[in-house]
Amino acid sequence: MGNDTPFAQRPVIILGAGIIGCATARQLLLNGFRVILVAEYLPGDQNIFYASAWAGAAWHAAGGICPEYQYLQAVTHRHLLMMAQEDLESGVCIVDSREYLEQPPSSSSLWGKNVVSKFRELGPDEYPSNFSCGWAFDSLVTDPTRHMPYLGKKITSLGGHFIRKRVESLQELYTMFPESYIFINASGLGSKSLTDVQDDKCFPERGQNVFLRTGNCKTMYFRNGKEYTYIIPRPLSNGLVLGGVKERDNVSPEVDMEIARDEIARAHRLAPDIIPENPSEDALSYIVGIRPSRQGGFRLDSEQIGSRIILSAYGFGGGGYAFSYGVADALTKMVEKAECENVILQAGS
Ligand SMILES: Cc1cc2nc3c(=O)[nH]c(=O)nc-3n(C[C@H](O)[C@H](O)[C@H](O)COP(=O)(O)OP(=O)(O)OC[C@H]3O[C@@H](n4cnc5c(N)ncnc54)[C@H](O)[C@@H]3O)c2cc1C
Protein backbone atom coordinates (compact mmCIF):
# COMPACT_ATOMS: atom_id res chain seq x y z
CA MET A 1 0.00 0.00 0.00
CA GLY A 2 1.67 3.25 -1.08
CA ASN A 3 1.28 6.84 0.00
CA ASP A 4 -1.23 7.41 -2.76
CA THR A 5 -3.64 5.02 -1.00
CA PRO A 6 -6.91 6.93 -0.47
CA PHE A 7 -7.54 7.88 3.16
CA ALA A 8 -10.59 5.71 3.41
CA GLN A 9 -8.59 2.59 2.53
CA ARG A 10 -5.78 3.10 5.03
CA PRO A 11 -6.17 0.74 7.99
CA VAL A 12 -7.07 2.06 11.42
CA ILE A 13 -4.40 0.73 13.79
CA ILE A 14 -5.44 -0.38 17.28
CA LEU A 15 -2.83 -1.00 19.97
CA GLY A 16 -4.31 -3.56 22.38
CA ALA A 17 -6.58 -6.56 21.92
CA GLY A 18 -8.44 -6.61 25.22
CA ILE A 19 -12.19 -6.02 25.40
CA ILE A 20 -11.73 -2.32 24.55
CA GLY A 21 -9.52 -2.85 21.48
CA CYS A 22 -11.54 -5.83 20.23
CA ALA A 23 -15.01 -4.30 20.75
CA THR A 24 -13.76 -1.23 18.85
CA ALA A 25 -12.27 -3.31 16.04
CA ARG A 26 -15.59 -5.14 15.61
CA GLN A 27 -17.58 -1.90 15.42
CA LEU A 28 -15.14 -0.27 12.96
CA LEU A 29 -15.19 -3.36 10.75
CA LEU A 30 -19.00 -3.38 10.79
CA ASN A 31 -18.84 0.26 9.65
CA GLY A 32 -16.63 -0.69 6.72
CA PHE A 33 -13.16 0.30 8.00
CA ARG A 34 -10.00 -1.73 7.55
CA VAL A 35 -8.53 -2.60 10.94
CA ILE A 36 -5.27 -4.02 12.24
CA LEU A 37 -4.80 -4.82 15.94
CA VAL A 38 -1.28 -5.00 17.37
CA ALA A 39 -0.94 -6.53 20.83
CA GLU A 40 1.27 -8.61 23.05
CA TYR A 41 -1.72 -10.64 24.31
CA LEU A 42 -4.53 -11.78 22.04
CA PRO A 43 -8.02 -13.27 22.59
CA GLY A 44 -7.67 -16.67 24.24
CA ASP A 45 -4.44 -15.74 26.12
CA GLN A 46 -4.28 -16.01 29.89
CA ASN A 47 -1.60 -13.67 31.23
CA ILE A 48 -2.54 -11.88 34.49
CA PHE A 49 -1.79 -8.53 32.82
CA TYR A 50 -4.39 -9.26 30.15
CA ALA A 51 -7.31 -8.07 32.30
CA SER A 52 -9.98 -9.00 29.78
CA ALA A 53 -9.36 -12.71 30.32
CA TRP A 54 -10.26 -12.51 34.04
CA ALA A 55 -13.22 -10.17 34.47
CA GLY A 56 -16.40 -11.20 36.32
CA ALA A 57 -17.82 -9.76 34.02
CA ALA A 58 -21.05 -8.23 35.10
CA TRP A 59 -22.91 -5.27 33.66
CA HIS A 60 -23.64 -3.09 36.65
CA ALA A 61 -24.68 0.56 36.57
CA ALA A 62 -21.72 2.44 38.06
CA GLY A 63 -22.54 5.06 40.70
CA GLY A 64 -21.11 8.58 40.66
CA ILE A 65 -20.49 8.86 36.91
CA CYS A 66 -21.57 11.69 34.59
CA PRO A 67 -24.54 11.29 32.19
CA GLU A 68 -22.20 10.85 29.17
CA TYR A 69 -20.53 7.89 30.86
CA GLN A 70 -23.90 6.51 31.95
CA TYR A 71 -24.86 6.54 28.29
CA LEU A 72 -21.69 4.62 27.36
CA GLN A 73 -22.81 1.92 29.77
CA ALA A 74 -26.36 2.04 28.39
CA VAL A 75 -25.06 1.53 24.83
CA THR A 76 -22.97 -1.40 26.08
CA HIS A 77 -26.09 -2.89 27.64
CA ARG A 78 -27.92 -2.59 24.31
CA HIS A 79 -25.17 -4.45 22.43
CA LEU A 80 -24.75 -7.14 25.09
CA LEU A 81 -28.49 -7.71 25.28
CA MET A 82 -28.60 -8.29 21.54
CA MET A 83 -25.77 -10.84 21.84
CA ALA A 84 -27.47 -12.58 24.80
CA GLN A 85 -30.69 -12.89 22.81
CA GLU A 86 -29.24 -13.81 19.44
CA ASP A 87 -25.80 -15.34 19.82
CA LEU A 88 -25.21 -17.99 22.49
CA GLU A 89 -21.59 -18.38 21.38
CA SER A 90 -20.90 -14.82 22.61
CA GLY A 91 -20.98 -16.06 26.22
CA VAL A 92 -23.38 -13.25 27.24
CA CYS A 93 -26.38 -14.24 29.41
CA ILE A 94 -29.35 -12.48 30.96
CA VAL A 95 -29.52 -13.18 34.69
CA ASP A 96 -31.78 -12.28 37.56
CA SER A 97 -29.96 -9.81 39.87
CA ARG A 98 -30.33 -8.76 43.47
CA GLU A 99 -28.63 -5.74 44.93
CA TYR A 100 -28.76 -5.11 48.68
CA LEU A 101 -27.94 -1.69 50.10
CA GLU A 102 -26.84 -0.74 53.60
CA GLN A 103 -27.76 2.93 53.10
CA PRO A 104 -30.78 4.27 51.16
CA PRO A 105 -29.49 5.05 47.64
CA SER A 106 -28.59 8.49 46.37
CA SER A 107 -30.58 9.39 43.27
CA SER A 108 -27.40 9.33 41.13
CA SER A 109 -26.91 5.59 41.67
CA LEU A 110 -30.41 4.77 40.46
CA TRP A 111 -29.95 5.78 36.82
CA GLY A 112 -29.52 2.12 35.78
CA LYS A 113 -33.19 1.36 36.40
CA ASN A 114 -33.99 3.04 33.07
CA VAL A 115 -31.61 0.67 31.27
CA VAL A 116 -32.21 -2.76 32.77
CA SER A 117 -35.41 -4.81 32.47
CA LYS A 118 -37.79 -5.82 35.25
CA PHE A 119 -36.42 -3.36 37.80
CA ARG A 120 -38.34 -3.37 41.09
CA GLU A 121 -37.72 -2.42 44.69
CA LEU A 122 -37.62 -5.42 46.99
CA GLY A 123 -39.99 -5.64 49.94
CA PRO A 124 -38.40 -5.83 53.43
CA ASP A 125 -39.12 -9.56 53.60
CA GLU A 126 -37.08 -10.11 50.42
CA TYR A 127 -33.65 -8.94 51.61
CA PRO A 128 -31.57 -9.77 54.72
CA SER A 129 -32.46 -7.69 57.78
CA ASN A 130 -29.02 -6.02 58.01
CA PHE A 131 -29.76 -4.03 54.82
CA SER A 132 -31.97 -0.98 54.45
CA CYS A 133 -33.29 -1.73 50.96
CA GLY A 134 -32.78 -3.82 47.87
CA TRP A 135 -33.53 -4.03 44.15
CA ALA A 136 -34.19 -6.84 41.73
CA PHE A 137 -33.64 -6.53 37.98
CA ASP A 138 -32.47 -8.47 34.94
CA SER A 139 -28.82 -7.86 34.20
CA LEU A 140 -26.19 -9.20 31.83
CA VAL A 141 -23.12 -11.26 32.52
CA THR A 142 -20.36 -11.98 30.03
CA ASP A 143 -18.22 -15.08 30.36
CA PRO A 144 -14.80 -13.81 29.20
CA THR A 145 -13.50 -17.35 28.63
CA ARG A 146 -16.07 -17.54 25.82
CA HIS A 147 -16.47 -13.90 24.84
CA MET A 148 -12.84 -13.05 24.02
CA PRO A 149 -12.32 -16.05 21.69
CA TYR A 150 -15.73 -15.30 20.13
CA LEU A 151 -14.74 -11.69 19.52
CA GLY A 152 -11.37 -12.76 18.12
CA LYS A 153 -13.10 -15.03 15.59
CA LYS A 154 -15.67 -12.36 14.75
CA ILE A 155 -12.96 -9.78 14.01
CA THR A 156 -11.07 -12.18 11.76
CA SER A 157 -14.24 -13.17 9.89
CA LEU A 158 -15.07 -9.49 9.31
CA GLY A 159 -11.63 -9.00 7.71
CA GLY A 160 -9.64 -7.62 10.68
CA HIS A 161 -6.03 -8.69 11.30
CA PHE A 162 -4.18 -9.39 14.54
CA ILE A 163 -0.42 -8.96 14.85
CA ARG A 164 1.13 -10.36 18.01
CA LYS A 165 3.84 -7.92 19.00
CA ARG A 166 4.92 -5.91 22.01
CA VAL A 167 5.85 -2.32 21.13
CA GLU A 168 7.78 0.10 23.30
CA SER A 169 6.13 3.26 21.97
CA LEU A 170 3.35 4.56 19.73
CA GLN A 171 6.15 5.84 17.48
CA GLU A 172 7.07 2.21 16.79
CA LEU A 173 3.55 1.73 15.42
CA TYR A 174 3.76 4.85 13.26
CA THR A 175 6.93 3.41 11.71
CA MET A 176 5.25 0.03 11.14
CA PHE A 177 2.25 1.65 9.41
CA PRO A 178 3.48 4.81 7.67
CA GLU A 179 0.36 5.11 5.49
CA SER A 180 -2.13 5.01 8.41
CA TYR A 181 -3.24 8.19 10.07
CA ILE A 182 -5.69 7.03 12.76
CA PHE A 183 -4.21 5.13 15.73
CA ILE A 184 -6.18 3.96 18.76
CA ASN A 185 -4.35 3.41 22.02
CA ALA A 186 -6.35 0.72 23.86
CA SER A 187 -3.33 -0.68 25.68
CA GLY A 188 -4.76 -0.68 29.21
CA LEU A 189 -1.96 -0.68 31.74
CA GLY A 190 0.54 -0.58 28.86
CA SER A 191 0.02 3.18 28.72
CA LYS A 192 2.01 3.51 31.92
CA SER A 193 5.20 2.29 30.21
CA LEU A 194 4.89 3.19 26.51
CA THR A 195 7.80 5.66 26.25
CA ASP A 196 5.80 8.36 24.47
CA VAL A 197 2.71 8.01 26.68
CA GLN A 198 4.09 7.29 30.19
CA ASP A 199 0.79 8.07 31.87
CA ASP A 200 1.69 8.20 35.57
CA LYS A 201 -1.97 8.18 36.56
CA CYS A 202 -2.21 4.52 35.47
CA PHE A 203 -1.72 1.91 38.16
CA PRO A 204 -2.19 -1.85 38.51
CA GLU A 205 -5.07 -2.96 40.74
CA ARG A 206 -5.02 -6.65 41.55
CA GLY A 207 -8.24 -8.65 41.58
CA GLN A 208 -8.70 -12.17 42.85
CA ASN A 209 -11.90 -14.18 42.62
CA VAL A 210 -13.08 -17.63 43.63
CA PHE A 211 -14.84 -19.74 41.01
CA LEU A 212 -17.33 -22.12 42.59
CA ARG A 213 -18.53 -24.92 40.35
CA THR A 214 -22.28 -25.39 40.92
CA GLY A 215 -25.44 -25.91 38.92
CA ASN A 216 -27.15 -23.28 41.09
CA CYS A 217 -25.89 -20.35 39.03
CA LYS A 218 -28.85 -18.31 37.83
CA THR A 219 -28.80 -15.24 40.10
CA MET A 220 -26.36 -12.37 40.55
CA TYR A 221 -25.92 -10.73 43.98
CA PHE A 222 -24.30 -7.39 44.82
CA ARG A 223 -23.63 -5.95 48.20
CA ASN A 224 -23.54 -2.20 47.91
CA GLY A 225 -21.96 -0.75 51.04
CA LYS A 226 -19.53 -1.87 53.74
CA GLU A 227 -18.36 -5.12 52.16
CA TYR A 228 -17.45 -4.93 48.47
CA THR A 229 -18.96 -8.28 47.54
CA TYR A 230 -20.43 -9.83 44.42
CA ILE A 231 -21.63 -13.22 43.24
CA ILE A 232 -21.62 -13.34 39.44
CA PRO A 233 -23.20 -16.36 37.75
CA ARG A 234 -21.66 -18.04 34.71
CA PRO A 235 -24.57 -20.20 33.57
CA LEU A 236 -22.67 -21.45 30.49
CA SER A 237 -19.70 -22.60 32.59
CA ASN A 238 -21.80 -23.99 35.47
CA GLY A 239 -20.43 -21.82 38.20
CA LEU A 240 -20.34 -18.64 40.23
CA VAL A 241 -17.61 -16.01 40.49
CA LEU A 242 -17.24 -14.87 44.11
CA GLY A 243 -15.47 -11.60 44.89
CA GLY A 244 -14.10 -9.22 45.20
CA VAL A 245 -10.97 -7.46 46.21
CA LYS A 246 -8.98 -4.49 44.88
CA GLU A 247 -5.30 -4.25 45.77
CA ARG A 248 -3.55 -1.21 44.41
CA ASP A 249 0.01 -1.74 43.12
CA ASN A 250 0.02 -5.48 43.94
CA VAL A 251 0.89 -7.59 40.87
CA SER A 252 1.42 -10.97 42.52
CA PRO A 253 0.20 -13.93 40.42
CA GLU A 254 0.02 -16.18 43.52
CA VAL A 255 -3.40 -17.03 44.93
CA ASP A 256 -3.77 -15.48 48.39
CA MET A 257 -5.75 -18.11 50.31
CA GLU A 258 -6.67 -15.68 53.07
CA ILE A 259 -8.43 -13.48 50.53
CA ALA A 260 -10.07 -16.53 48.94
CA ARG A 261 -11.44 -17.70 52.31
CA ASP A 262 -12.69 -14.20 53.08
CA GLU A 263 -14.47 -13.99 49.71
CA ILE A 264 -16.23 -17.31 50.32
CA ALA A 265 -17.27 -16.13 53.81
CA ARG A 266 -18.59 -12.81 52.46
CA ALA A 267 -20.46 -14.54 49.63
CA HIS A 268 -21.98 -16.98 52.13
CA ARG A 269 -23.22 -14.06 54.28
CA LEU A 270 -24.71 -12.43 51.17
CA ALA A 271 -26.50 -15.51 49.78
CA PRO A 272 -26.42 -18.35 52.35
CA ASP A 273 -28.94 -20.37 50.33
CA ILE A 274 -26.60 -20.82 47.38
CA ILE A 275 -23.08 -20.43 48.83
CA PRO A 276 -22.16 -23.10 51.41
CA GLU A 277 -20.07 -21.98 54.36
CA ASN A 278 -17.42 -24.58 53.51
CA PRO A 279 -17.62 -25.56 49.85
CA SER A 280 -15.74 -28.69 48.90
CA GLU A 281 -12.17 -27.97 47.69
CA ASP A 282 -12.66 -29.79 44.39
CA ALA A 283 -15.53 -27.42 43.47
CA LEU A 284 -13.19 -24.42 43.78
CA SER A 285 -10.69 -22.74 41.50
CA TYR A 286 -9.14 -19.28 41.61
CA ILE A 287 -8.88 -16.31 39.26
CA VAL A 288 -6.15 -13.65 39.48
CA GLY A 289 -5.98 -10.62 37.18
CA ILE A 290 -4.61 -7.09 37.17
CA ARG A 291 -7.11 -4.29 36.48
CA PRO A 292 -5.77 -1.42 34.34
CA SER A 293 -6.83 1.40 36.67
CA ARG A 294 -6.23 5.10 36.37
CA GLN A 295 -6.42 7.86 38.94
CA GLY A 296 -9.24 10.23 37.96
CA GLY A 297 -10.82 7.64 35.64
CA PHE A 298 -10.36 6.44 32.11
CA ARG A 299 -9.19 8.38 29.05
CA LEU A 300 -11.46 8.60 26.04
CA ASP A 301 -10.27 11.41 23.81
CA SER A 302 -8.84 12.40 20.46
CA GLU A 303 -5.63 14.33 19.73
CA GLN A 304 -4.01 15.49 16.53
CA ILE A 305 -0.28 14.75 16.79
CA GLY A 306 1.56 15.92 13.67
CA SER A 307 -0.33 14.51 10.72
CA ARG A 308 -1.91 11.71 12.78
CA ILE A 309 -5.02 11.35 14.90
CA ILE A 310 -4.45 9.47 18.17
CA LEU A 311 -7.49 8.24 20.06
CA SER A 312 -6.86 7.17 23.66
CA ALA A 313 -9.13 4.65 25.39
CA TYR A 314 -7.54 3.15 28.47
CA GLY A 315 -7.69 3.11 32.26
CA PHE A 316 -11.02 1.29 32.64
CA GLY A 317 -10.11 -0.34 35.98
CA GLY A 318 -12.92 -2.58 37.20
CA GLY A 319 -15.45 -1.50 34.55
CA GLY A 320 -13.99 -2.31 31.13
CA TYR A 321 -16.72 -4.78 30.19
CA ALA A 322 -19.55 -2.55 31.42
CA PHE A 323 -18.21 0.32 29.25
CA SER A 324 -16.82 -1.71 26.32
CA TYR A 325 -19.33 -1.52 23.49
CA GLY A 326 -20.34 2.05 24.38
CA VAL A 327 -16.68 3.07 24.19
CA ALA A 328 -16.35 1.20 20.87
CA ASP A 329 -19.34 3.14 19.56
CA ALA A 330 -17.88 6.48 20.75
CA LEU A 331 -14.46 5.71 19.22
CA THR A 332 -16.10 4.74 15.93
CA LYS A 333 -17.84 8.14 15.86
CA MET A 334 -14.47 9.85 16.52
CA VAL A 335 -12.92 7.88 13.65
CA GLU A 336 -15.82 8.86 11.36
CA LYS A 337 -15.30 12.53 12.29
CA ALA A 338 -11.56 12.32 11.56
CA GLU A 339 -12.30 10.61 8.25
CA CYS A 340 -14.79 13.25 7.27
CA GLU A 341 -12.29 16.02 8.06
CA ASN A 342 -9.47 14.33 6.18
CA VAL A 343 -11.31 12.94 3.20
CA ILE A 344 -13.81 15.70 2.51
CA LEU A 345 -13.17 18.94 4.36
CA GLN A 346 -9.35 19.21 4.02
CA ALA A 347 -9.31 17.64 0.58
CA GLY A 348 -11.91 20.15 -0.57
CA SER A 349 -10.17 23.24 0.84
C1 LIG B 1 -10.81 -10.06 38.82
C2 LIG B 1 -11.41 -9.04 37.90
C3 LIG B 1 -12.80 -8.87 37.86
C4 LIG B 1 -13.36 -7.94 36.99
N5 LIG B 1 -14.73 -7.83 36.93
C6 LIG B 1 -15.30 -6.94 36.06
C7 LIG B 1 -16.74 -6.84 35.95
O8 LIG B 1 -17.48 -7.54 36.62
N9 LIG B 1 -17.24 -5.93 35.07
C10 LIG B 1 -16.44 -5.14 34.29
O11 LIG B 1 -16.95 -4.33 33.52
N12 LIG B 1 -15.08 -5.23 34.37
C13 LIG B 1 -14.50 -6.10 35.24
N14 LIG B 1 -13.14 -6.18 35.35
C15 LIG B 1 -12.33 -5.18 34.63
C16 LIG B 1 -12.05 -5.55 33.18
O17 LIG B 1 -11.45 -6.83 33.11
C18 LIG B 1 -11.10 -4.50 32.59
O19 LIG B 1 -11.58 -3.19 32.80
C20 LIG B 1 -10.96 -4.69 31.07
O21 LIG B 1 -10.64 -6.02 30.76
C22 LIG B 1 -9.89 -3.76 30.50
O23 LIG B 1 -9.79 -4.00 29.12
P24 LIG B 1 -8.65 -3.32 28.25
O25 LIG B 1 -8.92 -3.77 26.86
O26 LIG B 1 -8.58 -1.87 28.53
O27 LIG B 1 -7.27 -3.92 28.83
P28 LIG B 1 -6.61 -5.38 28.74
O29 LIG B 1 -7.61 -6.46 28.69
O30 LIG B 1 -5.59 -5.44 29.83
O31 LIG B 1 -5.87 -5.37 27.32
C32 LIG B 1 -4.76 -4.55 27.06
C33 LIG B 1 -4.20 -4.93 25.70
O34 LIG B 1 -3.11 -4.07 25.38
C35 LIG B 1 -1.99 -4.84 25.00
N36 LIG B 1 -0.78 -4.08 25.31
C37 LIG B 1 -0.50 -3.32 26.40
N38 LIG B 1 0.72 -2.77 26.28
C39 LIG B 1 1.23 -3.19 25.11
C40 LIG B 1 2.45 -2.96 24.42
N41 LIG B 1 3.41 -2.17 24.93
N42 LIG B 1 2.66 -3.56 23.22
C43 LIG B 1 1.71 -4.36 22.67
N44 LIG B 1 0.53 -4.62 23.29
C45 LIG B 1 0.30 -4.04 24.48
C46 LIG B 1 -2.12 -6.11 25.82
O47 LIG B 1 -1.31 -7.16 25.29
C48 LIG B 1 -3.62 -6.35 25.66
O49 LIG B 1 -3.89 -6.96 24.40
C50 LIG B 1 -12.53 -7.12 36.18
C51 LIG B 1 -11.15 -7.30 36.21
C52 LIG B 1 -10.57 -8.26 37.07
C53 LIG B 1 -9.09 -8.44 37.06
Q: What is the pLDDT of residue 143?
A: 97
Decide: 204 in ligand 1 pocket, CB within 6 A.
Answer: no
What is the Cβ-side half-sphere exposure of residue 226, based on CA atoms within 13 angstroms? 8
The distance in angstroms from the start CA to the end CA of the chain is 25
pLDDT tens-digit series, residues 174-229: 999 999 999 999 999 999 999 999 999 999 999 999 999 999 999 999 987 778 89
pLDDT tens-digit series, residues 267-295: 999 999 999 999 999 999 999 999 999 99
Q: Whole-angstrom Cα distance, residue 28 to residue 26?
A: 6
CB 5 within 8 A of CB 179: yes
CATH topology of domain 12-345: Rossmann fold (3.40.50)
pLDDT tens-digit series, residues 153-167: 999 999 999 999 999
Could you tell me the pLDDT band of residue 27, with boundaries at 50, 70 and 90? very high
Q: DSSP string spanning 265-312? A: HHHHHH-TTTS-SS--GGGEEEEEEEEEEETT--EEEEEEETTEEEEE
Could you tell me the pLDDT band of residue 3, with boundaries at 50, 70 and 90? low
pLDDT tens-digit series, residues 59-97: 999 988 999 999 999 999 999 999 999 999 999 999 999
Distance 291 CA to ligand 1 centre (A): 6
Distance 212 CA to ligand 1 centre (A): 23
Decide: 326 in ligand 1 pocket, CB within 6 A.
Answer: no
Amino acid at 299: R
For the cut 90, the answer to whether the pLDDT of residue 141 exceeds it is yes
Decide: 23 in ligand 1 pocket, CB within 6 A.
Answer: no
Binding-site residues, in ranges, read 167, 230, 291, 318
Range name among 25-29, 121-125, 342-346 with the lowest pLDDT average: 342-346
**Mean pLDDT on 124-131:** 91
Mean pLDDT, the chain, as a whole number? 94
Domains of the chain by residue range: 12-345
Could you tell me the pLDDT band of residue 246, with boundaries at 50, 70 and 90? very high
Q: What is the pLDDT of residue 228?
A: 84
For the cut 90, the answer to whether the pLDDT of residue 348 exceeds it is no
Q: What is the pLDDT of residue 105?
A: 74
Question: What's 114's DSSP letter?
Answer: G
Decide: 135 in ligand 1 pocket, CB within 6 A.
Answer: no
Amino acid at 301: D
